Amino acid sequence: MKKNEIIVAVTIIVLGLIAPKVLPSVWITVLSMAFYYAILTIGWNIIFGYTGLFSYGHAAFPAIGGYTSALLAQHIGLSPFLGLLAGAFIAGLLGIVIGLLILRVHGFYLCLVTWAFAEVVNVIITAEHQITGGTGGLLAPTFFSGPNAELFGYFMGLGLMMFAFLISILLYHSRWGLNLFAVRDDIDAAESMGIKTRFWKVFGFAFGCSLAGLAGAYFAHFLGLIDPGIGGLDQMGYVCLIVIIGGLGTVYGPILGSFFVVITKELISGYASGYSLLIFSVIMILAVRFLSGGFMEIIQVISPRLNNRYLKFVNK
Amino acid sequence: MLLELIIRGITIGLVYALMGVGLALLNGVMRIINFAHGEFYMIGGYMAYYASTMLGFQFYFSVPTAMIITFILGAVVEKLLLSPIHTQEMEKPMDYALIMTFGLLLFFRQLAIKVFGPFRHKPADYITSDVYILGVKISGNEVLAGAVSAILVIGLAIFIKKTWRGRGWRATTQSRQGAKINGVDIGKESWIACGVACALAGAAGALVAPIFTLSPTIGGSPLVKSYEVMAIGGLGSIAGSLVAGLMLGITETLGAFYISSAYKDAIGFLMMGFFLLFRPQGLFGQK
Amino acid sequence: MLKIENVNVFYDGLQALYSVSLEIQVEEFVCILGPNGAGKSTLLQTIAGMLAPKQGSIFFENRPIHGLESYNIASLGLALIPEEGWLYGQMSVEENLLMGAYPKSARKNIKRQMDFVFDLFPVLFDRKKQLAETLSGGQRQMVAVGRGLMCNPKMLLLDEPSLGLAPIVIKDILKALVRINKEEKTTILLTEQNIFHALKISQRGYLLENGKIFMQGASKELLGNKHIKKNYLGV
């Protein structure tokens, strides 16, 4: 881990601890959602940004994790904390299965297969309403009870996000990470260097999926409710948007993007309710058309000097 | 009952095929995945609706109007947003197009909610009388949708097979470099092909508007169907798309009736997943 | 006919051609020799507009063509026959040939050109309905040459047409090239690793080594040249 990554991590933790003291209480929920999206997109960033697999079914995995945990709590009274583990485990397991299946396909087809999977998951969740509650959703116990339940839930989310963040940084700098990058950048070269590309593809995919499952379980137990909307196509849109805006394949990207998107959404909701997705879609189109590097490139365009300092900072 | 289901399946299957061939054309000429394909269907539906309610057009004017507008829209989108793929030689054109067209999907859908309103609209019936096919009563609208879809798909097949431009498109699909040295201006053909594909989607939306009614989110299902058709039929095979569309339409209609309507959409996805994983060349393609 | 002046080309960030200049007269048959990786393909692709030179200029019939898109160059009557063929695998032989006449200016003479191609390569006539991907290597090369001829080109650029083919097939193809040059008065620029054959049928040659023109001269002289004998003909 580099020095600056530690600085960033500590800053986020400090800000995260102060935030509930200084911000009005609505923001606790808003920021908790930002934590959720950050964990979810860190997962997708590992799948697409690190390993280069364009999974279009990422939104299915928080749904799987969330429903797993909520159903276990409902039927066998599993504690939400263990539910997080169960959600991540089941999502990761399914990630391995899908990961093995998609070894057969590349690029375009990979995207379609994962999408098909996500849609089938959504159809099942909606259709099996005796079990899942259908479109009405399913109640899940919250992590804590009492007057400060939400605040504790918030800290829980902060902790989980930092956990996911640290894992993604460690992965980024490790040999494992290098193997993933090799698979992404030049699979033939990686193969000839003796890297087991099939293994690393499945690993990267399942790893990202299990983080998504963790995020989903957190979502369910923080809000106390989960519905099929969590696995919808517009959620996949948010995932893409966040990672694109934050900067694909970078360690800070998902967190920067999540906070930007969730906070902006909250800020504009007062003035232009219902316009947030429209505005985000325009940002997304413009960002892809003109700025493939996300935030970093915006900084570069506005102020090259600042960007150089930023790059120095990141690489120190 | 079975006969009625099959005839309905064929009608809807032809519309699916119409969506699918447009997508396959785009994928071939431009090498992109277009996630906004269903939105052109939605826009086509609304354009036909406004053409018939505000201008009082009959279907034989309102459907072509919808096609012209979606053609222009598709061409403009290609020129403004997608052309960097071939002019700037993007490093990962597929990822670029994926995210771009996904942004367009969200954009058009949200814009439609604001412009057209979130409520359902329904244009007047194109054909008010019913038609009897083999003794089964089918609404005139459905027969019209199926027949016009079939004509358009076959028309496209002939165009692709017989004209210089169509041959150039096929050539581009099979070897971009070959097409370049043979004098195909890929930049120009891309926007034309994109316009045509979008116009076909617009036609599909316009044709089924009186059957399914319109709302801003109707683009999702036809998008999915067109990918299913393309995956089952094989990339770039029009005959494959036609058969795949019919197959999909019939199995879905039968499945919805005999198995469960809640799982109707899963049937197509499972078929698509199966084909992609185990027969990626589609029904008719060679490996 | 074709004049290249001080062309520098980069490929994947590496310089592939260093200040290459050459000139070809009308109806000449010129070959560019050189080992693998000398930059022969790069040179031909640059002329055909598939790669852009960083510096230098290219004139075709006294008209600057560097910076033109490849589809424009095709319609000027300058046809590239690439090493890999770039055929349309799922199209029939006949359709592949028709694509060669894609530029509007070429569409008038289709019948005549196609007859000429079938006269050159009778085997293609028998297989004109067959898909290109089902052909043998030699037949594919014939389709590639035939497709290049379909636009009634003033000049043909051939990139190693003999690569990977059986000796008897090579002979057929080289014979056809001589006929094209003689009967159609088409200027030909040919790159070859197979130096002996190339020098036998051409009038002049250039030797390209490491992206630079190392030597040039009449083919007969080059055949007798010491450097060439020693390094390329193994004498």
Compute the average pLDDT of residues C211-219: 90
pLDDT of residue B165: 95
In contact, C40 and B147? CB cutoff 8 Å: no
Whether the pLDDT of residue C158 is over 90: the answer is yes
- Chain C positions touching B178 (Cβ under 8 A) are 82, 85-88, 99
* Three-state secondary structure of chain A: CCHHHHHHHHHHHHHHHHHHHHCCCHHHHHHHHHHHHHHHHHHHHHHHHHCCCCCCCCCHHHHHHHHHHHHHHHHHCCCHHHHHHHHHHHHHHHHHHHHHHHHHCCHHHHHHHHHHHHHHHHHHHHHCHHHHCHHHCEECCCCCCCCCHHHHHHHHHHHHHHHHHHHHHHHHHCHHHHHHHHHHHCHHHHHHCCCCHHHHHHHHHHHHHHHHHHHHHHHHHHHCEECHHHHCHHHHHHHHHHHHHHCCCCCCHHHHHHHHHHHHHHHHHCCCCCCHHHHHHHHHHHHHHHCCCCHHHHHHHHCHHHHHHHHHHHHC
- Predicted confidence at residue A302, as pLDDT, reads 56
Give the mutation candidate from C46, C88, C97, C147 for the B interface (greatest B CB count, under 10 A).
C88
Contact B44, B66 (CB under 8 A): yes
CB contact under 8 A, C87 and B178: yes
Chains with ≥3 CB–CB distances under 8 Å to B: A, C
Shortest CA gap B224–chain C (Å): 27
Confidence check: pLDDT of C196 > 90: no
CA A262 to each of CA A65, A213, A265: distance values in angstroms, whole numbers, following the listed order:
21, 20, 5
B150 or A7, greater pLDDT: B150
Q: Which helix (H) or strand (E) holds C118?
A: helix C110-120
Among the residue ranges A106-110, B63-67, B103-107, C186-190, the one predicted with the least confidence is A106-110
Mutation site for B-interface testing, chosen from A102, A105, A120 by largest number of B Cβ within 10 Å:
A120
Nearest 5°: the CA angle B163, B168, B172 is 150
Average pLDDT of chain C, as a whole number: 90
B74-84 pLDDT, tens per residue?
Answer: 999 999 998 88
Taking any CB pair shorter than 8 Å as contact, residues of chain A touching chain B are 54, 56, 101, 104-105, 107-109, 111-113, 115-117, 119-120, 123-124, 126-127, 233-234, 236-237, 240-241, 244, 274-275, 277-278, 280-282, 284-285, 288-289, 292
Task: Using CA coordinates, name the residue in chain C closest to B189.
Answer: C71
Q: Per-residue pLDDT for C18 more than 70?
A: yes
Determine the pLDDT at residue A139: 87
* Mean per-residue pLDDT, B21-33: 87
Crossing angle (nearest 10°) for helices B220-233 and B186-212: 120
Query: pLDDT value at position C191?
Result: 92
Is 50 exceeded by the pLDDT of residue B253? yes
**Strand-pair category, C155-159 with C187-192:** parallel
Could you tell me how many CB contacts below 8 A there are between chain B and chain C? 67
Q: Which two tokens stand for residue A15?
A: 């800000």
Please answer yes or no on whether C82 and B177 come within 8 Å at the CB atom: yes
Q: Say which DSSP state C39 is in.
A: S
Q: Are B156 and B200 in contact (CB under 8 A)?
A: yes
**Residues of C within an 8 Å Cβ radius of B:** 48-50, 69-71, 74-75, 79-80, 82, 85-91, 95, 98-100, 102-103, 106-107, 147, 151
pLDDT of residue A295: 55
- Which pLDDT value is given to residue B119? 86
B108 CB-contact burial (10 Å; exposed 0-12 / middle 13-18 / buried 19+): buried
Spatial CB neighbours of B115, under 8 Å, sequence gap ≥ 6: none
Query: How many CB contacts within 8 angstroms connect chain A with chain B?
Result: 102
Question: What ipTM was reported for this prediction?
Answer: 0.89
Shortest Cα distance, chain A CAs vs residue B277, angstroms? 6
Residue of B nearest to A53 (CA): B95
C-beta atoms surrounding A129 within 10 Å:
14
The answer to whether A300 touches B115, Cβ cutoff 8 Å, is no
CA of B145 vs chain A CAs: smallest distance (Å): 27
Confidence of residue B287 (pLDDT cuts 50, 70, 90): very low
Per-residue model confidence as pLDDT tens digits over C69-124: 899 998 898 999 998 889 998 899 999 999 999 998 888 889 999 999 999 999 99
% of chain C residues with pLDDT over 90: 54
pLDDT reported for residue A315: 54
Q: What is the DSSP string of B139-167?
A: EHHHHHHHHHHHHHHHHHHHHHHHSHHHH
Q: What is the pLDDT along chain A (316 residues), one digit of tens a residue?
A: 677 788 888 888 898 888 888 888 888 889 999 999 999 999 999 998 889 888 989 999 999 999 999 999 989 988 889 999 999 999 999 999 999 988 888 777 888 889 888 888 988 898 888 888 888 888 888 888 878 888 888 999 999 999 999 999 999 989 998 899 888 888 888 888 888 889 999 999 999 999 999 999 999 999 988 988 888 878 888 898 888 888 777 788 899 889 988 988 888 877 766 787 888 888 888 888 876 555 555 555 555 565 566 556 555 4
pLDDT digits (tens, 9 = 90+) for B96-114: 788 889 889 989 998 999 9
Label residue C14 by pLDDT band (50, 70, 90).
confident
Q: Which chain A residues contact residue B95 at CB under 8 A?
A: 54
B positions 141-180 inside 8 Å of C (CB): 164, 167-168, 170-171, 174-175, 177-180
What pLDDT is attached to residue A146? 78
Minimal Cβ distance to C91: which of B164, B174, B183: B174
Is B277 within 8 Å of A111 when comparing Cβ atoms?
A: no
Q: Across all residues in chain B, what is the average pLDDT?
A: 89
